[in-house]
């Protein structure tokens, strides 16, 4: 019984560990190249930046490619503001559908 309980605890830690390890960055504090390098190195990051309309701070999860998206999602080109580029190209995950298969 203890072996089964230990295995369940180990499996839970293994599964839950990577999900909580995603880094968060302010995109306006970095150059476009450094944002792209962070995403390539870490495979997925959360970027925060102010709304272009003066609203609240926006954030999303940006990925290196399709491999970091769920099975039913695809990596879609997106843009974030950085210190040197108001539209730095990056990718984030979007849901696929029969109307937009990717």
- Residue 3 pLDDT exceeds 50: yes
Q: What pLDDT sits at residue 17?
A: 44
**Which residue matches tokens 């695809």?**
74
On whether residue 16 sits in a domain, the answer given is no
Query: Which domain range does residue 61 map to?
Result: 24-95
Q: What is the pLDDT of residues 55-70, one digit of tens each?
A: 899 999 999 999 999 9
Tell me, yes or no, whether 68 lies in a domain: yes
- Tell me if 77 is assigned to some domain: yes
Residue 101 has pLDDT above 70, yes or no: no
* Cα 16 → chain centroid: 16
Prediction pTM value: 0.74
Q: What is the pLDDT of residues 22-68, one digit of tens each?
A: 999 999 999 999 999 999 999 999 999 999 888 899 999 999 999 99
Domain count, the chain: 1
> Is residue 98's pLDDT more than 70?
no
Please report whether residue 8 resides in a domain. no
DSSP result, 54-99: S-SEEEEEEESSGGGS-TTEEEEEEEE--SS-TTEEEEEEEE--SS
Q: Is residue 42 part of a domain?
A: yes
């Amino acid at each position: 019984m203890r072996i089964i309980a230990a295995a369940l605890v180990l499996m839970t830690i293994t599964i839950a560990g990577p999900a909580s390890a995603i880094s968060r960055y302010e995109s306006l504090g970095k150059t476009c190249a450094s944002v792209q390098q962070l995403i390539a190195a870490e495979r997925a990051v959360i970027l925060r930046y102010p709304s272009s309309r003066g609203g609240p701070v926006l954030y999303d999860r940006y990925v290196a490619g399709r491999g970091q998206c769920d099975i039913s999602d695809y990596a879609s080109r997106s843009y974030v503001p950085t210190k040197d580029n108001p539209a730095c190209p990056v990718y984030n995950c979007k849901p696929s559908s029969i109307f937009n298969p990717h």
